[in-house]
Chains A and B, each alone.
Chain A
Amino acid sequence: MDGAMGLLGGGGGGGSSGGSTDGSMSTVSKAEVVEQDYVGLMSEVSSYPAEAELELGLGLSLGGAMKAKPCAWREYGRILTAKDFPSVVSRGSSASSSSSSGRGTSTTAITGTKRTADTVAQDVGHANGASQVVGWPPIRAYRINSLASQVKASTAEEDDHSIFGNDKNKNSAKKDTNNSNNKNNSNIQEKGCRRSSLFVKVNMDGVPIGRKVDLNAHSCYESLAQTLEDMFHRPTTTVNANRSSGEKEHNLMVEAAKSSRLLDGSSEFVLTYEDKEGDWMLVGDVPWGMFLNTVKRLRIMRTSEANGLAPRFQERDQRQTPAPRLRGSKPI
């Protein structure tokens, strides 16, 4: 079979002969070309009539069953963190009855995130540097995390020392590292916040497919929670490129424009994490920097399963030390 035969009837070479930059193959004329060549295949030029009513199955069910499963997620499916607990269990139960399985009409449209190449180009062009784009620069997560943990070890150590006044780091070699790294890499730290990726796995109960989230793209629990809501509700390929309302000098910070519904709403889900010692903790207990230092992975857990994690603590503001271990009694 002649390798040059394409799917189009005749003239497999199409508009490629000769001119390279004249309009024959440009995207401007593509629409016409498409219409001629898609014999029998109507290309719908109109844009998103159905999207407003599109009901997003969110992948909670797989395959064909996804068709009509709506998700009133945005209203009901907020992720709880530790902050919610003192006030709220009753709100959680009333919400859970109407979440996830109903065919509610309060659907959530996909809000204008048609990911054409043009849109992507704009995002990248306007974004503050390469850091906004998933998978770019093309460096394996393993390598990024390794670098991050070396730099992070030195900065987090300083945090720990200042806040808690004790050395929570068990590995004395690591401690020496920090001293020597500080000397050797001081020029790095002078230049301000170094942003590298720290991807951790996120699984949500009831969703077979896990995701990964870059914790270093956030500076606070609110923005992380917002991202997770989006991710498990309406995942896109670029990380919050559209939502960056508060870009400042730290290019990876995504500031939540308002207090995230994550933390003040009610939900049948709770955000938890597994720490380095293998315990599952509620997210939100500890200072952000300390959380970064100890988190291994996240899990969006059903509230019903998270009962054992309800912390026993007083008002958050008064707390100077991290919350006690929730299972087991190892001091920090």
Chain B
Amino acid sequence: MAYSFPEEVLEHVFSFIHSDKDRNAVSLVCKSWYEIERWCRRRIFVGNCYAVSPRIVIRRFPEVRSVSLKGKPHFADFNLVPEGWGGYVYPWISAMAEAYPWLEELRLKRMVVTDEALELISRSFKNFSALVLSSCEGFTTDGLAAIAANCRNLKELDLRECDVDDRSGNWLSHFPESCTSLVSLSFSCLEGEVSFSALERLVSRCTNLRALRLNHSVPLDKLPNLLRRAPQLVDLGMGAYTAELRPELYSRLGNAFAGCKGLKSLSGFWDVVPSYLPATYSVCAGITFLNLSYATIQSPDLIKLIRQCRNLQRLWVLDYIEDSGLNALAASCKDLEELRVFPSDPFGQEANVSLTEQGLVSVSEGCPKLQSVLYFCRQMTNAALFTIARNRPNMTRFRLCIIEPRTPDYLTLQPLDAGFGAIVEHCKDLRRLSLSGLLTDLVFEYIGTHAQKLEMLSVAFAGESDLGLHHVLSGCKSLRKLEIRDCPFGDKALFVNASKLETMRSLWMSSCSVSFGACKLLGQKMPRLNVEVIDERAPPDLRPESEPIERLYVYRTIAGPRLDMPGFVWTMGDEKSATEFS
């Protein structure tokens, strides 16, 4: 039967398919679909920048407009990956500068971005419109100045929790007067001051500005003017929310907020003075995302604010909210989907606030749409976890961090295996789970048995033997990312489940019992994995092979061993792979 569907028609149909998974499926149907699809794919997402090379990506997808890249493993956020490990974006930029002159968007996470890379971006892509850097480092405000100055159609410049060397506030002034295209400008992670006049002028002329996230150097008394110039804002990140108590400022602020009728998201709130909070009340009814995680204010003030936000969907807050505040939240915010409670005093010996497992139970009861939880606390019980699991079978992300490692159920002194077991058993759509507290191998048996949709698992100070790791690797069908620290897991589970590792994005194990010999063997036997030993002591081949290494990072790749490793990273089985991929 002749296949007579014209390519143009197919291409038009494919243009309605956006998700990567669907596009990947399309490309597997037959060779001609593969060809058509690859020429019309416009967005690519690379979850591990070392899993593939720029050359390979460019060769397959020649007409890309939007690229997302992730570099370092997640545990780099907690200083577990030594500086200099890798994740450099420059080679990608340099390759794309030639191959993708029409590139519009770049989204980078946990990558090392230099000023040279930023300058190259600003000069190479004529239609460049969106730069989003999350948890990136290695650049200064000079690089930002280049972006501001040279990207004529810039719509989005978002810096999220980046480590930026702040040389001066003048980068903002590099936006030319002709720039009116900004839709999103976010620089809350910058430490230094910015030029207010430049900021005000920029905000005034960018009438499409929807998101503006300031850093804490922008004082409160500048806010009313900014808001008056941008009543169309949807997402506001305030600077310092503090000033002497001045009625005139308070009323200007209140009026300015009242003018922003479309505001849905509020964040910032550094150095909050509670008396100024009511100035935001006029917009609270429309707020769906409230980030108070830098606001060191107490529960009563928090409660007053939260009670105003009846349509709240996502709340990030410090544990100053306490159980009483969470009760109020459960009573007021029936649309709540996501709750994150951060510790105000993570390194203190004892609790400084009255936040216990009860608060979380309360929210799980009162908020029927709750599906994403990040909760730092100091005590937990299996009973509470049971209750949460039964209340919220729709939970998709559950991250519990009991601050003291290996803390048991404080009522029964038992491990928390059963409680987490209940979570994975009841929450059948659970995609992300972080464990804490006292845990034996049993919890991993529950996870391996029940958590069939689990994609990411984080484990610390848990388990008793290789069996625990084996349960997870052999059981969790959808597992993509597994990160483990300080657990007595070693070689055997890795060997037995070696091929599982090719179905996952990555495995991280630090301060476990994985021997150097095992890593070498794994690297030799599995050429499609990069088995990286990251060890800051002397080279591992100077030590006994049975000795545990400091850190192991295993990831699947079609690019072979990487060439940019520092002296404390070794790829195992390198010699063999090098000849295979040369």
Contacts and interface: CB of A to CB of B under 8 A. Distances in A.
A43 B346 contact: no
B161 A142 contact: yes
Given A45-B546, A50-B542, A173 B496 contact: no
B224 interface: no
A7 B500 contact: no
Contacts of A180: 242, 273
Contacts of A251: 347, 349
30 contacts: A4-B474, A5-B499, A7-B521, A14-B496, A20-B467, A34-B546, A37-B492, A44-B544, A44-B546, A54-B538, A59-B567, A117-B548, A120-B486, A130-B405, A134-B80, A135-B75, A137-B376, A138-B78, A138-B401, A139-B346, A140-B135, A153-B271, A176-B242, A176-B243, A184-B274, A194-B348, A196-B347, A209-B84, A212-B83, A237-B551
A16 B334 CA distance: 45
B490 A30 contact: yes
B492 A33 contact: yes
B490 A27 contact: yes
Contact of A143 (B242, B297, B342, B465): B342
A129 B440 CA distance: 21
Given A63-B567, A134-B78, A137-B376, 19 more contacts: A6-B497, A8-B496, A34-B491, A41-B545, A42-B545, A44-B544, A67-B539, A130-B405, A133-B486, A134-B79, A135-B78, A137-B346, A139-B376, A141-B77, A143-B342, A171-B217, A173-B271, A201-B83, A237-B511
Interface in B389-423: 401, 403-406
Interface string A172-200: 01101100110011001001001111010
Interface in B520-545: 521-522, 525, 536-539, 542-545
A137 B542 CA distance: 33
Contacts of B103: none
A67 B540 CA distance: 10
B271 A177 contact: yes
A3 B503 contact: yes
A138 to B, nearest CB: 5
A53 B270 CA distance: 53
B353 to A, nearest CB: 9
A197 B79 CA distance: 12
Contacts of A138: 77-78, 401, 434, 458, 460
B299 to A, nearest CB: 11
B347 A252 contact: yes
A261 B497 CA distance: 49
Interface string B342-370: 11111111001000000000000000000
Contact of B82 (A43, A55, A118, A209): A209
B42 interface: no
Contacts of A136: 78, 405, 460
Nearest to A191: B352
A324 to B, nearest CB: 25
Nearest to B163: A142
A131 B347 contact: yes
Interface in A1-43: 1, 3-8, 12-16, 20-21, 25-27, 30, 33-34, 37-38, 41-43
Interface string B68-93: 00000001011110111000000000
Nearest to A22: B467
A26 B492 contact: no
Nearest to A54: B538
B294 interface: yes
A329 interface: no
A234 interface: yes
Interface in B451-489: 458, 460-461, 464-467, 470-471, 474, 485-489
Contacts of B127: none
A188 B537 CA distance: 40
Interface in A238-272: 238, 251-252
A273 B543 CA distance: 36
B116 interface: no
Contacts of B343: 137, 139
Contacts of B274: 184
B161 A118 contact: no
A7 B495 CA distance: 5
B262 interface: no
Contacts of B550: 115, 237
A106 interface: no
A57 B535 CA distance: 13
Interface string A140-157: 111110110011010000
Identify the interface centre among A21, A115, A136: most chain B CB within 10 Å of its CB.
Answer: A136
Nearest to A48: B544
Interface of A: 1, 3-8, 12-16, 20-21, 25-27, 30, 33-34, 37-38, 41-48, 50-51, 54-57, 59, 61-64, 66-67, 110, 114-118, 120-121, 124-125, 128-131, 133-144, 146-147, 150-151, 153, 171, 173-174, 176-177, 180-181, 184-185, 188, 191, 194-197, 199, 201, 208-212, 234-238, 251-252
Contacts of B525: 7
A57 B346 contact: no
A237 B549 CA distance: 11
B297 to A, nearest CB: 7
Contact of A27 (B80, B163, B465, B496): B465
A141 B79 contact: yes
B187 to A, nearest CB: 13
B220 interface: yes
Contacts of A174: 240, 271
A115 B401 contact: no
A26 B489 CA distance: 10
Identify the interface centre among B80, B347, B467, B489: most chain A CB within 10 Å of its CB.
Answer: B347
Nearest to B500: A3
Contacts of A116: 513, 548
B379 to A, nearest CB: 14
Contacts of A38: 517, 521
A177 B219 CA distance: 11
Contacts of A128: 349
B26 interface: no
Given A134-B79, A134-B80, A180-B242, A235 B347 contact: no
A123 B490 CA distance: 19
A47 to B, nearest CB: 8
A181 B521 CA distance: 57
Given A59-B568, A66-B539, A195 B347 contact: yes
B176 interface: no
A208 B566 contact: yes
